[in-house]
Amino acid sequence: MRMRYKCAMALAGTAGILAVLIERHHKLQLQALKAENDKLSDHYQLLNHWLEVQHEGRSTAEYFQQMGYSRIAVYGMGDLANRLSEELAGSGIQIDYGVDRDVSCTIARIENVYSLQEELPPAEVMVVTPYYAFESICNDLKEKIDCPVISLEEVIWSV
């Protein structure tokens, strides 16, 4: 009888611990999904605004012209960098070079692309296209360059 009681208590304790661990795991998964959902929602809103700006006949080039920038560098060689490059083509705003953590996997159409480990040429301003990681990237870049670092998000919402 005593042995059954001990086994039942051990089983109940194990079940309780498993329930707590499963609950924590689900909570962490839910937090990760919410963070990803928020990121995608922000991305949608930014791209939607960018399209609105374009439909009004305006461009991100206006931001750079108003700020007095004619030669820029771009961090993050993904789709957003390509869209920015396409929009700035023929505008008088020159993208001198790009920077990416993994130069070998870049899909950029920007000719000169550097890694963070390389010495970076001077630039008037560095535009960070992965705006959701702006603070971390900005901290990395401040050690490498001596120019303002801005996010693509700031550029688009300022037009």
What is the CATH classification number for the domain harbouring 147?
3.40.50.720
Q: pTM for this one?
A: 0.82
Most confident of 26-35, 57-66, 109-118: 57-66
Residue 20 pLDDT grade (very low, low, confident, very high; cuts 50, 70, 90) = confident
According to the model, what pLDDT value does residue 18 have? 84
Looking at the DSSP bridge assignments, the partners of residue 97 are 73
Whether 64 and 140 share a structural domain: yes
According to the model, what pLDDT value does residue 58 have? 97
Whether 65 and 139 share a structural domain: yes
According to the model, what pLDDT value does residue 2 have? 81
Whether 52 and 33 share a structural domain: yes
Domain residues for 10? Answer: 1-57
CA atoms within 13 A on the CB side of 47: 12
Distance between CA 149 and CA 23 in Å, rounded? 41
Whether 72 and 135 share a structural domain: yes
Whether 69 and 131 share a structural domain: yes
Whether 111 and 128 share a structural domain: yes
According to the model, what pLDDT value does residue 14 have? 86
Domain count for the chain = 2
Distance between CA 129 and CA 126 in Å, rounded? 10
